[in-house]
Structure 1
Amino acid sequence: MFEQTFKNIDDILHKDAGCTSELDYTEQSSWLLFLKYLDALEQDKATEAALEGKKYSFILDLPYRWASWAAPRTPDGKLDHNNAMTGDDLRDFVNTKLFPYLHGFKERATSSNTIEYKIGEIFSEIKNRIQSGYNLREVAELVDTLRFGSQTEKHELSHLYEAKIKNMGNAGRNGGEYYTPRPLIRAMVQVTAPKIGERIYDGAVGSAGFLCEAFEYLSAKPDLSTSDLKTLQTRTFYGKEKKSLAYVIAIMNMILHGIEAPNIVHTNTLAENISDIQEKDRYDIVLANPPFGGKERKEVQQNFPIKTGETAFLFLQHFIKSLKAGGRAAIVIKNTFLSNTDNASVSLRKLLLESCNLHTVLDCPGGTFQGAGVKTVVLFFEKGAPTRKVWYYQLDVGRNMGKTNPLNDGDLVEFVTAQKTFAGSAKSWSVDVVGINVTSWDLSVKNPTGGEEGALRTPQEIMDEIAALDTESSEVLATIRGLVT
């Protein structure tokens, strides 16, 4: 129903000088979608209040509501082209009046959990990139045709929006970091099996794919009460995101999936000292695919007991600390984490095995992540008891994966089923921690049935380890020089 509308919007943005990639298309359609959604939400609440004989207090003042500037209407409900701003007038209104007004909600909001604060945060972080007011008029009119009224409409919109996020993976500017294959996320959710009332967290939320899929999983449970639904809306899903574009996309993605006021905070998760995390800050479940390959500054590393510049390793420490006792996690990480010999990797594996039960390692095949040349594993663990035995599953989809034949849900059915009993097979096996070398804490994927894929490392993986060792050596030398001088 809406697919052609989305395509038409992208076609217009493609012609605009201010929009140069799929990331821009998604960002610009996101803020317009958000304001259209907000208007629909306010209209619904105003109607509900009127039926109860009450007066609804609108969040936005009249000149800044969607129906005033984006889609003014004649008395018979048709678009009022005579009073609709366009060209420079529309562009200037959006840039010099609308955005500053919306930005101001951040200071005026009573708390960061309110929709008012989310409005202020979004419009302090993005700007209108559509340079032609005529293009902006066309896009606004197309967005105005979208409807959020029924669950069917929201469902279709959420699928189309997910497709836009997936396309960003091929758009450069690190667009791929916003997208984890949804079949993999769904398998991770099924294994962790969240329950109503448990708090679910992703501190590297990206496009909020993990939280959206967990919401889909929980909202599909039979016989949910009104209280259960309120719990899902307000006290279940939590995320943090550093990058402004990802933050905006996460908010919009969750809204389209049916979560009206997402608990997403725009912040650098790693800037938080993990020693400051209290019991009240902890979660029942962590689902995440933290960015890897980043090089964090020394002052950020000081927030963690195991010092390393590798972003993913800092996130893993944060996630372990953020779990409640008995809490469950499923986290995507580069497979080199299992075997790297640098001090940080060894110390982190030791920490994980001693403080958590790392019960499952899913070894993902190359090509799982489109456009990323790294191999990954998924770590499944529970906090509070040490690991006794690790069950490995080597995912083999029987084909070379690419853009035309990506990972699908069927590829993971066997894994999810076998994981319930930790079944042994040609693809799966268990390793007793007693037999692990306590010097290296090596957790490499070595299939005892003869599968060699997990035992051999690619040249890139070897180069990554050399780079890590070089960095560690440089830090040691720098320390020695400091002591000598």
Structure 2
Amino acid sequence: MTIANLQSKINRITDILRRDDGISGAMHYTEQISWVLFLKYLFDYEENKAQDALVDGKQYKYIIDTKYRWDEWAYPLKEDGEYDLKNAMGGDDLIKFVNNDLFPYLQGFNTNIEEVKTIKYKIGAVFEFITNRIASGHTLREVIEIIADLNFQSKDDLFELSVIYESLLQGMGNDGGNSGEFYSPRPVIKAMVEVVKPTVKDTIYDGAVGSSGFLIQAYDYLMQDGKREQYSTTQLKHIKEDMFFGNEKTPLAYVMGMMNMILHGIESPNLYKQNTLTQNIRDFEEKDRYSVILANPPFGGKEKKTVQQNFPIESSATELLFLQHFMKMLKKGGKAAIIVPEGVLFQSNNAFTAVKQDLLENFNLHTILSLPAGIFLPYSGVKTNVIFFDRKGGTTDIWYYECTPPYKLTKNKPVQYEHLEKFVAGFEKRETTEYSWSVPIEEIRKANYDISAKNPANIKKIIHQEPRGILAELKSNDKKINSLLNEIGNLIQTGYEG
């Protein structure tokens, strides 16, 4: 099935769900499409495993018991393989089974801590924070019958599913309100990953994981251009089980992030439902840290005093607390790329200045990408930047790059990857152009650690005159003004006399 056909089916499901009394807005219908899609994916996943085991002369042990498998409750088949509509649950019976039997059963999968690395445990983690909102059994039956036509039994099928799921998440982001937390612009994420260049040896972390966009882009980067075939079995196991880590505070975002990673082929992502900022960063040791950090943490929020006490430099601003967290979580020699609001760069109160001083003196803040206004519309119009730093020595100079799309960004005219291609291509050369420049650390210290992007090509030259010269110019202007006023007065007088 093509992506266009798959998108058409998802659009049909969306239209059906909008009519249901239990659904309200893009967040709800994306959540509900997600769990049904996820269960169909799990069924195909297990059928594939069973077939592979059969080829090897073994018997596969199913994760999901017979009663709860897709082909039993959702889409039963006759002996000839045709859909057995007569024996398929519907109406109130279907809703009761899903709410009272299926969900409680799946929610019980994450009780055994010894299975934390297994896909079974991750299934339980997903359903712990999700509920069925579909009120009508007839609506749910319609949705099931459309999704039943989809197959996720090959890499191509899985790729198509992941593309469509990303578009659903983007729709939530475009919905505005609080749903922007689920989706960061993929062109920006792609540029950040391509500059950081993660390797198969890395551990990659996002402390505000949302829908897992950064981790998935890093995974795609590691798998592109036939790289998968070059990895050993041990390396592939590391990628799927021990490479990707993240925290997410919001239950729905956590669920979406977990499902998104599994649907992209990362069977055991290490995602945790927790508020990252409740961790005391003084307790972190080298063994707790990560070699690559990629993130777009929340900004504009305020944290209470008990949370602020987890940081050496206390502040209510979430963006400043997250920045301290990421600095502490980066391994020696590690690399980080973090999106921050403009205020972090120019604010000069004690807390902001102290954090920036620590960053510049103890880390190599080598690059700042100045993003155009409107990157996060309609969720936020705040001007943002990407800061790139390594835990390797101190900062000697910062290379700035100003991203300037040829049009004003809006909800319907978002940033494109082509707007960032020159930045990616020029990152290692660090040349001075009309949109890129360097500033030495000495100048930054003199400016009280103001590291905001000020393109010298756009700064107009100001001519400073002596006071006498200014006074003479004012007197000259006064004479000209008086002369013009006299002329106007004469014309008016002439008109009256005429």
Tell me the CA shift for residue 173 of structure 1.
4.1
Tell me the CA shift for residue 438 of structure 1.
5.6
CA distance in 1, matches of 2:456, 2:144: 59
For 2:194, which of 172, 190, 194 is the aligned residue? Answer: 190
Q: How does 1:337-352 map to 2 (within 5 A)?
A: 337-352=344-359
Match of 1:394 in 2: 402
Q: Does 1:74 align with 2:78?
A: yes
Residues 363, 392 of structure 2: 8 Å contact kept = yes
CA distance in 1, matches of 2:136, 2:383: 43
Q: How does 1:33-112 map to 2 (within 5 A)?
A: 33-112=37-116
Tell me the CA shift for residue 404 of structure 1.
3.0
Tell me the CA shift for residue 403 of structure 1.
2.9
For 1:225, which of 198, 222, 231 is the aligned residue? Answer: 231
The 3-state SS of whatever aligns with 1:138 is helix
Q: How does 1:34-433 map to 2 (within 5 A)?
A: 34-221=38-225, 222=227, 223-227=229-233, 228-371=235-378, 372-433=380-441
CA distance in 1, matches of 2:179, 2:135: 22
The 3-state SS of whatever aligns with 1:2 is helix
CA distance in 1, matches of 2:459, 2:59: 68
- Compare 437-446 and 261-270 and name the one that shifted more: 437-446
Give per-residue Cα distances to partners, 1:170-229, cap 9 Å, x unaligned.
Answer: 324411121111111111011101111111111111011111111111101445234343
CA distance in 2, matches of 1:156, 1:57: 28
CA distance in 2, matches of 1:172, 1:91: 30
CA distance in 2, matches of 1:87, 1:310: 49
User: Which segments of structure 1 move beyond 6 Å, counting only runs of 4 or more?
Assistant: none
Matched residue type, 2:438: S
Query: 1:439 and 1:414, CA in 2 relative to 1: closer, same or farther beyond 3 A?
Result: closer
CA distance in 1, matches of 2:443, 2:414: 36
CA distance in 2, matches of 1:423, 1:207: 35
Residues 330, 380 of structure 1: 8 Å contact kept = yes
Query: 1:113 and 1:230, CA in 2 relative to 1: closer, same or farther beyond 3 A?
Result: closer
Tell me the CA shift for residue 306 of structure 1.
1.3
Match of 1:30 in 2: 34
Tell me the CA shift for residue 431 of structure 1.
0.6
Matched residue type, 2:391: K
Matched residue type, 1:433: I
Q: Which has the larger radius of gyration?
A: 2
CA distance in 1, matches of 2:132, 2:250: 17
- Aligned length, in residue pairs: 452
- Compare 48-57 and 174-183 and name the one that shifted more: 48-57
CA distance in 1, matches of 2:302, 2:352: 15
The 3-state SS of whatever aligns with 2:456 is coil
The 3-state SS of whatever aligns with 2:77 is coil
Residues 154, 257 of structure 1: 8 Å contact kept = yes
CA distance in 2, matches of 1:116, 1:109: 11
The 3-state SS of whatever aligns with 1:380 is strand
The 3-state SS of whatever aligns with 2:364 is strand
Residues 219, 229 of structure 1: 8 Å contact kept = no
CA distance in 1, matches of 2:35, 2:113: 19
Residues 109, 116 of structure 1: 8 Å contact kept = no
Residues 373, 382 of structure 2: 8 Å contact kept = yes
The 3-state SS of whatever aligns with 1:449 is helix
Tell me the CA shift for residue 111 of structure 1.
3.6
Residues 206, 247 of structure 1: 8 Å contact kept = yes
Residues 211, 254 of structure 2: 8 Å contact kept = yes
The 3-state SS of whatever aligns with 1:186 is helix
Match of 1:476 in 2: none
Percent of aligned pairs sharing the same letter: 48
Give per-residue Cα distances to partners, 1:323-363, cap 9 Å, x unaligned.
Answer: 10110010001011111122221111111111210000000
Give per-residue Cα distances to partners, 1:139-170, cap 9 Å, x unaligned.
Answer: 12222222112222222211111111111123
CA distance in 2, matches of 1:425, 1:325: 32
Match of 2:449 in 1: 441
CA distance in 2, matches of 1:401, 1:204: 25
**TM-score (norm. length: structure 1):** 0.90
CA distance in 1, matches of 2:80, 2:121: 35
Tell me the CA shift for residue 76 of structure 1.
1.1
Residues 362, 393 of structure 1: 8 Å contact kept = yes
Matched residue type, 1:93: F
**TM-score (norm. length: structure 2):** 0.88
- Compare 430-439 and 185-194 and name the one that shifted more: 430-439
CA distance in 2, matches of 1:306, 1:238: 25
Matched residue type, 2:157: E
Tell me the CA shift for residue 451 of structure 1.
4.8
Residues 249, 275 of structure 2: 8 Å contact kept = yes
CA distance in 2, matches of 1:78, 1:173: 44
The 3-state SS of whatever aligns with 1:201 is strand
CA distance in 1, matches of 2:236, 2:114: 24
CA distance in 2, matches of 1:62, 1:285: 42
CA distance in 1, matches of 2:407, 2:84: 55
Residues 117, 241 of structure 2: 8 Å contact kept = no
Match of 1:455 in 2: none
CA distance in 2, matches of 1:216, 1:164: 19
